[in-house]
Chain A
Amino acid sequence: MNTITSMKSLKELSERTKKDNQKYSKIVTLCAGTGCQASGCSSIITSLHEELKHKGLTEKIKIRTTGCHGFCEQGPLMVIEPENIFYSFVKPKDIPEIVSETLSKDKIIERLLYTDATSGKKITYERDISFYKSQNRTVLEQNKLIDPCNINDYIAQGGYSALVKVLTKMSPEEIIQEIKESGLRGRGGGGFPTGKKWEYCRNAEGSPKYVICNADEGDPGAYMDRSVLEGNPHAVIEGMLIGAFAIGAKHGYIYVRNEYPLAVKHSKIAIQQAEELGLLGKNIFGTNFSFDIKIVRGGGAFICGESTALMASLEGKVGEPRPKDIHTTDKGFNDLPSNLNNVETWANVPFIIKNGASWFASKGTAKSKGTKIFALTGQIKNTGLIEVPMGTSLRKIIYDIGGGSATGKRIKAVQTGGPSGGCLPEELFDLPVDFEALAEAGSMVGSGGMVVMDESTCMVDVAKYFLKFLLDESCGKCVPCRVGLSRMLEIIDDITKGKGTEEKMELLKETAETVSIASLCALGKTAPNPILSTIKYFQSEYEAHIKDKRCPAGVCRELIHYSIDEDKCTGCGSCLKACPHGAISGEKKKSYRIDDDQCEKCGICKEVCKFNAITIS
């Protein structure tokens, strides 16, 4: 392959790829992101290939396997271009029909269409789906247009033109100025202004300098970094190249967790392809700028997403944070100036350079600019990855994009920012999602996880769950985080068991404050957020647990009792068969009873009862 040395040759390659694609009458885009793979898309890809071969259509129809489209809940997904027909829940047995009807005769298969979660109508085209319509996608938009294993696809979408622009027309200072003006802030959770960080690193003494991509995403439920790295690795690489040029770095690292095999694979392929085209390596684009990227796989510790712990891990040491009195931009990896940014931050950089700082700054709020990817999960109809401008209200995200409650029960809270974020109640759903507004409300944007919870969720139990996660993931180096979190868990565990007292509640609050003030790193500093925010907004639930020894949501096992409603029970006996603890007794066709001493409160009887006769009190 010839290396690219001028804007002209890059454009030529782009045109050539576009022309190649025009040969096909249809392009079938199949999502092969992790979500759709879990739903079984790989067998669909194989059967589609076979079917096209069988029908002799390989010359006319192109299959493009792409990264995550975002609407993971409906997966496996298929989009047929140029019509933009959207098929969901595709199964291998549907493939012959899709080929013979839709691909050959332009006939739409009704049953594969997406049914709108609110109106119940069938929707034919992807662009008309409210989940997509209400979003404003930049980084995620490219995912479905690109085969991540094919650099030409990325170049055809204008890829690497930002790199060419900075190498030929811009000075490092101009790039930093551009990023500063755009108002881009760290997408990994800290929200530190990216341009400022680059400037610090550029001005720091020491050589060589490093740029690092943080792909050690570990929040339960969050997978945007994974999807970007899997679906569009070249955007990350291009962003790193631009950053390295601006900072004066010669070497780069992608620190990605080993649990993301597809991300590791795709970034490896991407690096190799970029090297082959001369876009990475020595004398890039024929200039004297040289830069290489290595992939380092993390061992799976949540704490290694923290910048100093990540760099320690990169050095081969134990992944523990160190005090940040000296910033990593001065002394980071190997005690040399290092600039660490998150996957999503890097992926945004080429777009800013291409479209200009003012384009990026036109979206978002006064202090938080641009768009942000969120992982929308929980008890809502449409789950998946969404990208919206900063400042979009939680209500819009939950109801317009998410389609509202999936269970029909009232949505009572949303947990934002991963395990160390906070739970926000429905009264605050009009809050704009930006760094400041969420922090003020006691939560944070974090990496962008959003877990929606309905009335069947006990907030004390939720706080306990996240606390337990963080205690498990704490490195144990400093006292407030290691001991403080275990003490907090001790107290909250007592509360869920009906052993809580008001004095202990005060102690819980005091400990939480100490942990947030005195901990060494951001894990400890933010760890009390789930506790503090639930105490703030759901005080009544804590009171019910402590004073009345009652769990209003019926979740905390020690505080609930299962019983059978005699009027509703028909004596069918399915609960008797289902109960694994032998706690149910009675005769057929007569009402059954639950023995409280033997009941383990597993809830299986409630699940099997068709007559809603089992009640929780």
Chain B
Amino acid sequence: MNEYVTLTINGSKVKTPQGTSVLDAALSYGICIPHLCHMPGISPIGACRLCIVEVVKNGKSKVTTSCTLEVEEGMVILAHTERILKARKNIAEMLVAEAPNSRAIQDIALRCGVKEVRYPFRNKDCVLCGRCVRICAETWQSKSLGFVGRGSERHVALPFDKRPEFCKQCNDCINVCPMTITPCPGPMKKGEEFFCGLCESQLSMAENIVDTCVDCRLGEGFNCLRAKNK
């Protein structure tokens, strides 16, 4: 059985075990695809949409999230086309406007090239990445957290808003939450939010070579695979 497959990401040949997601394959090769809801070892949900890439097949390209896309032999992936970069930057801008009080999200926005935030800030406590929900259900088999409500009413909640007996009190929901690390300038009050951008110097190299991981340290906040392995 062919256990390894070879695919092309941004023109580079990448060899990776079968069953890997395109995002993991790219990250392990040092190709930077920003991501938020993705966690290694936890099933993907494709909610944040930051890791979108173009898959080229039969001359047509389709946009999909690389975290949910499994590698296939001969696959051609374009992770940083102009179209993708523009949409990704816009999504990052939306995210930072939703929740500016997160270093992870501020970092992602910077990494995606956001220079200013044109939407009014909302300063929410949760961006519904579902990291807590999934780690609780999958790693701990506990399902103490879940999504409740639809659309704009969607939120993460405990069953009947009470900590259930089967909660293992592992605190992993807090550990993986992108909202727990406040931005470097400190917590931002309502009405006083801003786009941080302090680490811009980290990006002096990356701006010209968008697709390369420059070990920018920005990933630490959001558990970037590279930053974690260092």
Contacts and interface: CB of A to CB of B under 8 A. Distances in A.
B91 to A, nearest CB: 6
A517 B83 contact: yes
Given A325-B70, A477-B47, A486 B152 contact: yes
Nearest to B55: A325
B69 interface: yes
A476 B155 CA distance: 9
Contact of A477 (B45, B88, B97, B153): B45
A473 interface: yes
Interface string B42-76: 00011111101000000000011100111000000
A301 interface: yes
A443 B147 CA distance: 33
A483 B94 contact: yes
Interface string B147-158: 101111110000
Contacts of A522: none
A513 interface: yes
A519 B49 contact: yes
Interface in A473-523: 473-480, 482-484, 486-487, 490, 503, 507, 510-511, 513-514, 517-520
A485 to B, nearest CB: 9
Given A325-B68, A476-B153, A519-B49, 7 more contacts: A477-B45, A479-B91, A479-B94, A483-B98, A487-B94, A511-B94, A513-B86
Specify the main secondary structure of chain B where it touches its partner: mixed
A326 to B, nearest CB: 8
A487 B119 CA distance: 7
Interface of A: 301, 303, 318, 322-323, 325, 471-480, 482-484, 486-487, 490, 503, 507, 510-511, 513-514, 517-520
A325 B49 contact: no
19 contacts: A322-B46, A323-B65, A471-B151, A472-B151, A472-B152, A475-B150, A476-B152, A477-B47, A478-B46, A478-B47, A480-B94, A483-B94, A510-B90, A511-B90, A517-B52, A517-B63, A518-B88, A518-B91, A520-B65
Most chain A CB inside 10 Å of its own CB: which residue of B68, B91, B147, B153 = B91
A477 B44 CA distance: 12
Contacts of B68: 323, 325
B120 interface: yes
Contacts of B94: 479-480, 483-484, 487, 511, 514
Interface in B166-187: none
Contact of A482 (B46, B83, B88, B128): B128
Contacts of A475: 150-151, 154
Given A301-B150, A518-B63, A480 B49 contact: yes
Specify the main secondary structure of chain A where it touches its partner: helix
B164 to A, nearest CB: 19
Nearest to B149: A476
Contacts of A325: 64, 68-70
Interface string B91-131: 10011011000000000000000000011100000011000
A471 B156 CA distance: 19
A303 B95 CA distance: 23
Most chain A CB inside 10 Å of its own CB: which residue of B97, B118, B120 = B118
Given A323-B65, A517-B52, A476 B90 contact: no
A482 B152 contact: yes
Contacts of A478: 46-49
Most chain B CB inside 10 Å of its own CB: which residue of A303, A472, A475, A482 = A482
A476 B154 contact: yes
Contacts of A303: 150
B152 A471 contact: yes
B87 interface: yes
B69 A473 contact: no
A279 to B, nearest CB: 39
B85 to A, nearest CB: 11
A514 B90 contact: yes
A513 B63 CA distance: 13
B interface, how many residues as a size bin?
35 or more
Contacts of A480: 49, 87, 91, 94
A615 to B, nearest CB: 36
Contacts of B150: 301, 303, 474-476
A479 B127 contact: yes
A479 B48 contact: yes
A511 B83 CA distance: 13
A318 B46 contact: no
A482 B151 contact: yes
A513 B64 contact: no
B151 A479 contact: no
Contacts of A514: 86-87, 90-91, 94
A331 to B, nearest CB: 12
Contacts of B118: 503, 507
Contacts of A487: 94, 97, 119
Given A473-B151, A507-B118, A479 B95 contact: yes
Nearest to A510: B90
B153 A520 contact: no
A191 to B, nearest CB: 16
Contact of A518 (B45, B87, B95): B87
B46 A520 contact: yes
Nearest to B45: A477
A520 B49 contact: yes
A478 B120 CA distance: 20
Contacts of B147: 318
A483 B90 contact: no
A217 to B, nearest CB: 19
Nearest to B155: A476
Nearest to B120: A490
A325 B91 CA distance: 21
B151 A518 contact: no
Nearest to A321: B46
Contacts of B69: 323, 325
A591 B127 CA distance: 58
A478 B68 CA distance: 13
A139 to B, nearest CB: 32
A473 B151 CA distance: 7
A614 B63 CA distance: 53
Contact of B49 (A503, A510, A518): A518
Nearest to A520: B46
A483 B95 contact: yes
B65 to A, nearest CB: 6
B127 A323 contact: no
